[in-house]
Amino acid sequence: MVPARRLLRGLLYGSRYDRVPWGQRVYVRPGERLLREAQWRWRIRRAPVTSLAEYGSELPLGEIEEFLSCMMCGESRQQPLFEPTGAGKGGNGSTWRYHVVRCPSCGFLYRNPNIRPERLGDLYSSGYSGFLTGTYAANRQRRYNLTMQAFSPVLDDGEGRRLLDFGCGVGLFLELAEQRGFDGYGVDLSPDSVAQANARLKRARAYFGAPQEVPEIAAGGFDVITLWSVLAHLPRPLEDFATFRELLAPGGVLLILTVNAQSLLLKAYGSAWSGFTKNHLMFYSADTLKTLLRRTGFEGVAYAPHYGDTVEAGTTRLFEPLRRRLRQAVEASDGGNMMRALAFADEEAIARWGDRLTIHRLRDRAAEPDGRDLTDTNLTAT
């Protein structure tokens, strides 16, 4: 099977794409996109749809785990799609195994069984902060800057604006935020990380615990809330987003970076996809993120494509014609392996930034009695 596939690939492409990294081939090889989309549709058609009871009866349930229905639409039936395996990030070389299912009604992807919210801290026990420093730190800060640039000018100037970084880790983003003049606050579940953040920061402050438990944060009035690679880690996203909405000031925005559940790389790699990691509990696409935002009271959302870290940083060795092809493929298909989104709390936020960004509205402003859905109407430059 494998030699046959290799032979076919040789006939189709020769050695032209041999030096293109795997993560970029999916976007630059002609025909690959259509093939992966077809493969995905086939995978979904083939996967059985089972009741939650039936699904749960066949799997062992760990002490910190629980079975879930779809958090986005309430559907209890499951389509088991993936069984990712990998080496634990704790560095002890242990392997772990879990299941990712698809909601047959709305397409949401999530880990099932999931992690009980009160046991979430178990995933971030000591040692996690070590993973957040070193060369990882430099790459992270570059990624933050590129993402802020993608939504410029919203995060350009922080003077006189309150910012909350939810899941702030060791404070790498808060450091950039205070340099831009923001009045920065952070919360995190790892006490080690919070201590390291406060050692790093000058004016901004990090706190251990939930936002409601910290008076300075519970007071709200935030102009910006950021979720850097945090969304996929949340076991109760609806509750958390309702809290974010309350904490935002009029005109406030919520910035999100997360793995993209409609990524072509997910479709190509399946269970071996890089987004399936031990701590990732739920996987959002542009569509399922809209559902989450709509249900928690946000008015609009804008997306920015992600071309991959090396392309964005200008360090890729891809030749210019292929780079152009990659950009076009990302824009025309999945939006990239990571999803970057900026959510707008209210009309005031949309009015403030809407002339610079393409905003998808999340509800019908006229609130017509027949409930006509104007959800995906683009608000273009005025």
List residues binding Zn ion (CB under 5 A). Answer: 70, 72-73, 75, 103, 105-106, 108
Integer Cα distance of 110 and 340 in angstroms: 19
Nearer to Zn ion, 107 or 158 (CB): 107
Place of tokens 């997910």: 266
End-to-end CA distance of the chain: 55
CA atoms within 13 A on the CB side of 32: 22
Integer Cα distance of 178 and 199 in angstroms: 14
Q: How far is the CB of 103 from Zn ion (least distance, A)?
A: 3
Q: How far is the CB of 72 from Zn ion (least distance, A)?
A: 5
**Residue 332: Cβ within 10 Å count:** 11
Tell me the sheet residues that pair with 53: none
Q: How far is the CB of 203 from Zn ion (least distance, A)?
A: 42
- The secondary structure element, H or E, covering residue 127 is none
Pair of tokens at residue 302: 């804008």
CB 182 within 8 A of CB 162: yes
Q: How far is the CB of 101 from Zn ion (least distance, A)?
A: 10
Q: How far is the CB of 26 from Zn ion (least distance, A)?
A: 27
Nearer to Zn ion, 285 or 333 (CB): 285
Q: How far is the CB of 300 from Zn ion (least distance, A)?
A: 22
Q: How far is the CB of 61 from Zn ion (least distance, A)?
A: 21
Handedness of CA 341, 204, 145, 251 (dihedral sign): positive
Nearest to 144 by CA among 176, 186, 119, 111: 176
Nearer to Zn ion, 110 or 298 (CB): 110
CB 309 within 8 A of CB 120: no
Q: How far is the CB of 78 from Zn ion (least distance, A)?
A: 10
Nearer to Zn ion, 73 or 146 (CB): 73
Nearer to Zn ion, 147 or 260 (CB): 260
Nearer to Zn ion, 24 or 112 (CB): 112
Nearer to Zn ion, 68 or 163 (CB): 68
Handedness of CA 54, 55, 56, 58 (dihedral sign): positive
Pair of tokens at residue 42: 């086939």
Tell me the Ramachandran region of residue 220: left when phi exceeds 0, alpha when psi lies from -120 to 50, beta otherwise.
Answer: left
Nearer to Zn ion, 36 or 102 (CB): 102
